Amino acid sequence: MNFSRVALLLSLLPSAHAFADTPNREDALKLPDVLISANRQVEQRDASTAANTVFTLADIERLQPTSITDLLNRVPGVQVAQSGGRGSLPGIYIRGTKAAQSLVLVDGQRIANATSADSALQYLNVDQIERVEVLRGSRSVVYGADAIGGVIQIFTRRGAEQGLQARLHTGFGNRGTSQNSLGLSGGNERTHFNLSTSLDETNGINRTGPSFASDADHDAYRNKSYSLNLSHWLNDDVEIGFNVLDNRGKTEFDNPFGLFDPVTFNSVGQQQYSDFELSSLGTYLDARINERWKTRLEVGHSENREKTADKLSDDRYVFNTYRDSVNWQNDLTLDDRNSLTLGADGYEDRVNSSTAFDEDSRWNRAVFVQHRFKGDGFSTELGLRHDKNQQFGSQNTWSGALTIPLNDANDVLFSYTEGFRAPTFNDLYYPGFSNPNLKPEHSKSYEVQWRSRLSETRKLEASLYRTDLKDAIALDADFTPQNIGSARINGFEASLEQQLFGWTGKLGASIIDPEDRDTGHTLNRRARRTLNLDLDRQFDRLGVGASWQAVSSSYNDEANTQDIGGYALFGLRSSWKASRDVKLEFKLDNALDTRYSRTLYSFDGSNHGYREEGRTWMFGVTWTPEL
């Protein structure tokens, strides 16, 4: 790697206007107009080169989502496809890339398991969440492997700024659904804390139609979770803190493919369930060394543990990932117009499984640098990262962006980013079905964004992008992973925020053309068109809202022979502030009781859709007394 080229480029950049002061990270988590995940530092959303969507705590309380995936379905360019139950693994497709090609973080910690790269987002309890940030497009220069499609970062609940505040929420709905949470938060000028716990349960529905008799039951779900956050300013320049999140429980699911019986040579039914535990622990030191230098050191540990069992047999499968990580970042203001970010990070994955892998641990270390210039006529961002991984060796990643303000209300952004995805332990070492010689997948992305502040009450953002994937890991005829795939994804997405006659509307639209370049087929389970609309209004103490989502048809298989029909969903919600401390909430999802599926399964030679929830309702009461 020729670092002299980097030095030359940096020396040629002009210099002039310092960045405005920004709030500290803990305070910024409560603000809607800032972004943290794009560059691991607080910045104004309008100043970031990353296409992004942010859900604050106020948004979460207004939208009343059942899960994190409910929020993600509202993001333009993001699709979620689950199969087989509330706790079933969701396929998350950001800009047409698959789930393993996007990075999921909780308070800065990676939570995906190392065997299959599944992030287990479905196990995160929304009552423990303060904020969700979604970045669309590669951020591999900042985060390294797996951030090809984008980054999803979830921040856990934070403490109150002053005094003590308790929070008690209880809710119930159809299908035996209940949601209960209890929290206490507080703070003063130097210290903030939050402690909360919650329990989420539902009897579920029967997710399959034609299947084994053992599948003709409801698939229940139970999730117990708690979180703890503490931050403390040692003085005006140094902050320390830690955060803990733990989710654990049990989820049942259908398996219409059955279990192969070596005696009869037939498949037999199962009643499968998983005991899961998903946790993260992080601690940090954030310091302002002087007026031009900020530094942040983070150390973390996460665990993704799952044991799958069958009530009708002795089958047990365990896949546990334990991950330790460290990140050190330095943000330097060189002068009024130039800033520089220098960082180093590393993590180590350890796998404990009922399946015997040839290797059960690996490490990754990286250094990165990013320069940003802000001028009157244009702004630039240039980044470089070098990763070294124990299994797949070294990888260099580049990114660059140019922002041109057309006038006070309109900006145009041009960007180029590279990305890669490291092979998983399953890809490399799963007995009989692996390939230890795999290379990482690679991507190159090109994007043009237009951002317009049409008025104080209207904001429009649009993106036109292309992503090229090569060395994609796919199974050959012997079900062995090989670097044999390539894909091209063209896309357009737009979002509009509008306030009119007291109503606040948010519209998101996406059109993608995800093509397998080897076969010419459309990548499976990606709908070409999606549309989302949220309308809300506050009438004194009464809040009302409605949501509408439309998704076009897609293909379930790579050969494009199994059609998944499109669908549209309509929902209603309301809240009433009964008193200063008490709020009542009600929501009605899938109000028209639409029948739809996002994935298919085969049984007796025919294809059938996994059932999604029909009409569901939920009523809740929240009590927030000040102590």
| 16 has pLDDT over 70 | no
| 597 has pLDDT over 90 | yes
CB proximity list for 601: less than 8 A, separation 6 or greater = 83, 208, 211, 256, 257, 607, 608, 609, 610
Lowest mean pLDDT among 78-87, 273-282, 411-420, 614-623: 78-87
More confident residue, 508 or 25: 508
Lowest mean pLDDT among 22-26, 498-502, 542-546: 22-26
Burial (CB count within 10 angstroms: exposed 0-12, middle 13-18, buried 19+), residue 187: buried
What stretch of H or E contains 295?
Answer: strand 293-310
pLDDT band for position 84 (cuts 50, 70, 90): low
pLDDT band for position 23 (cuts 50, 70, 90): confident
- Angstrom distances, CA of residue 387 to CA of 344, 350, 399, 422: 10, 19, 14, 11
The mean pLDDT of the chain is: 92
Residue 52's beta-bridge partner residues? 135
Can you tell me the mean pLDDT for 323-338?
A: 97
pLDDT of residue 298: 98
| 567 has pLDDT over 60 | yes
Helices (H) and strands (E) in the chain, counts: 6, 37
Q: C-alpha 124: how far from its chain's center?
A: 11
- Which amino acid would we find at residue 586? F
**pLDDT > 70 in the chain, percent:** 96
pLDDT band for position 21 (cuts 50, 70, 90): low
- Which amino acid would we find at residue 254? D
| 506 has pLDDT over 50 | yes
pLDDT of residue 19: 36
Per-position DSSP letters for 95-106, written without gaps between them: TT--GGGEEEEE
- Which amino acid would we find at residue 132? V
Burial (CB count within 10 angstroms: exposed 0-12, middle 13-18, buried 19+), residue 210: exposed
pLDDT of residue 485: 84
| Chain segment 165-185, per-residue pLDDT in tens | 999 999 999 999 999 999 999
pLDDT of residue 18: 38
Closest by alpha carbon to 185, among 149, 204, 157? 157
CA distance 422 to 118: 13
Task: For tokens 């203001």, name the residue.
Answer: 333
Residue 233 has, within 13 A of its CA and on its CB side, a CA count of 15
| 589 has pLDDT over 60 | yes
pLDDT of residue 87: 67
3-state DSSP call for residue 428? helix
Can you tell me the mean pLDDT for 416-441?
A: 92
3-state DSSP call for residue 482? strand
Closest by alpha carbon to 371, among 335, 405, 396? 335
| 467 has pLDDT over 60 | yes
Residue 515 has, within 13 A of its CA and on its CB side, a CA count of 10
pLDDT band for position 11 (cuts 50, 70, 90): very low
Residue 424 sits at φ, ψ, to 5 deg, of: -85, 170
| 1 has pLDDT over 50 | no
pTM here? 0.94
pLDDT of residue 520: 93
pLDDT band for position 455 (cuts 50, 70, 90): confident
| Chain segment 104-158, per-residue pLDDT in tens | 999 999 999 999 888 888 899 999 999 999 999 999 999 999 999 999 999 999 9
**pLDDT > 90 in the chain, percent:** 81
